[in-house]
Chain A
Amino acid sequence: MTVALSGKDIASQLEEKFPDSIEETSRDCLVVKSDSLLAVAGYLKDTESLAFDYLNYITAVDYYSYFEVVYQLTSLKHNHSVIIKSRCYGRENPAVPSVIGLWQSADFQEREIYDLMGIKFEGHPNLKRLFLWEGFQGHPLRKDYL
């Protein structure tokens, strides 16, 4: 059984390493400030006791006042998982750093979110629309579309 690690436990480990990087914690997840997302993700991947080598999925949710980007990480070695979130505020130009350097599987998924939700992934080498054609106006998965 994959053990879902508590966001609070991981947060206590991260607090010393990266002070002021955590926005919120709960039993199920950990909300990381977007400017320290890459450092935290790198730590989660490379630390031996955590070893999150597998990125299950990335998705984004529109909560009107902010967008929430959701990452689920799994360690195939230890068989545990965790959900990391990052929020970006403002509807004009929301952006989070791209994790493609850590997990290649982010490639299409980040492009999909950019396409449908309009969130920019800074550092993605080929950030263009995935499903819709170039020149399409708007981002259909946003709550204010239609």
Chain B
Amino acid sequence: MTTTEMMTLKTEPFVLNFGPVHPSTHGVYRMRATLDGEVILDIEPVVGYLHRGIEKLAEERTYSGFIPLTDRLDYISPMSNNLGYCLAVEKLAEIKVPERAEYLRVIMAELQRLANHCIAVGSFLNDTGAYYTPFMYAFREREKIIDLFDMVCGQRLTYNYMRIGGVGQDIPDEFLPALKKLVEQMPRWVDEYDLLLMQNEILLARTKGVGVLPRETAINCGISGPVARGSGVNWDLRKADPYSVYDRFEFDIPQGETGDCYDRYRVRIEEMRQSLRIIKQAMNDIPAGPVRADVPHLIRPPKGEAYAHLEAPKGELGYYLVSDNSIAPYRCHIRPTSLINLTALREMVKGWKVADLIAIFGSIDITMGEVDR
């Protein structure tokens, strides 16, 4: 048999289950992949293993009683989840937040973005074969951020720090010096990743040109966050629809060109630098004053509905709330960034090999807590 004949030899397609428990699926996610040899013909995502019915639970809790549950959505970045929900309730009930609280919210949200991107980049490199070394580097940095969160709210994973009308409590005296130290050290660490990996032959071979997501497809599939920006979509809610006090800070929106895995990785690294810029400005300008508006424990927002969204580390996170003037939301819908970002996965992986599927999936950066809710 000649080589050409061997190349055209068709093999029987077979179905392979990835997950639900698999180290590269970042939680309990399953893909039913139809393969021809090692080439992917099609995949079908199967989700729901972590479905806890959080939207239904919201209808049985008071407005403020739901905040701890938002921690459990995207558990890699709970601060952003807290903030998004509080923004929605504040919009619904027309509550004004004190200045100092707004600055604290921005600082926490940006620290959260740093922590999230540490995990996103670390685990993505893990998936592409740099086994655990960069992951542990990234965890070293994340640890410092978690220490800061521990300082302000006593928690390391589920912070429950934001409140309707402000934040839970003011920062302790040792927080700002510790934050200052982190902001000084962090750029060196980010540069270190870059130095080790940007020109790495293996990383380039595994990610350059792999899993290209064209700009138009990204928009049509509702993709947001670093994945969309990696495809050249100039859309960041901090600039496009500023919330809190983001309109007061100077920062850039990094973008990719081709929309491959490498661009998504680069955008995240660049975003870490921009987040540090924002934190620096925020901690210099932070005013004194109260950190929480005078809001009763039981809020009864007027009848109506509100949607508030923010640029969470993974993309657009939004809450759609309907009020019937009682103490609990009539309906609470969470716009799940991770679930919607998975929409394009099928198109992105077709024709690539199994090993690339892992890299492409890793470059999207999802959390199953948010996919399943």
Contact = CB atoms under 8 A, between A and B. Distances in A.
Nearest to A61: B331
Contacts of A55: 222
Interface residues of B, number: 34
A131 B320 contact: no
Given A108-B339, A109-B340, A130-B48, A56 B316 contact: yes
A103 B335 CA distance: 16
B47 A103 contact: no
A83 to B, nearest CB: 8
A62 to B, nearest CB: 8
Nearest to A54: B219
A140 B57 CA distance: 11
B82 to A, nearest CB: 19
B48 to A, nearest CB: 4
Contact of B343 (A28, A76, A104, A133): A104
* Interface of B, helix, strand, loop or mixed by DSSP: mixed
B294 interface: no
Given A72-B307, A132-B51, A140-B56, A104 B241 contact: no
Given A54-B222, A103-B220, A108-B339, 20 more contacts: A28-B305, A53-B220, A55-B222, A56-B307, A56-B309, A56-B335, A57-B222, A61-B331, A103-B221, A104-B220, A104-B222, A105-B221, A105-B222, A116-B55, A131-B47, A131-B48, A131-B51, A132-B51, A133-B48, A141-B56
A61 B304 CA distance: 13
Contacts of A116: 55
B190 interface: no
Interface in A104-146: 104-105, 107-109, 112, 116, 129-133, 140-141
A119 to B, nearest CB: 14
A4 B164 CA distance: 24
A109 B233 CA distance: 22
A53 B320 contact: no
Contacts of B283: none
A111 B339 CA distance: 12
A72 B335 CA distance: 11
A107 B343 contact: yes
Nearest to B220: A104
B372 interface: yes
A107 B217 CA distance: 13
A107 B222 CA distance: 10
A53 B219 contact: yes
A59 interface: yes
Given A2-B240, A132-B48, A104 B372 contact: no
A79 interface: yes
Nearest to B341: A105
A88 interface: no
Given A54-B222, A57-B318, A108 B241 contact: no
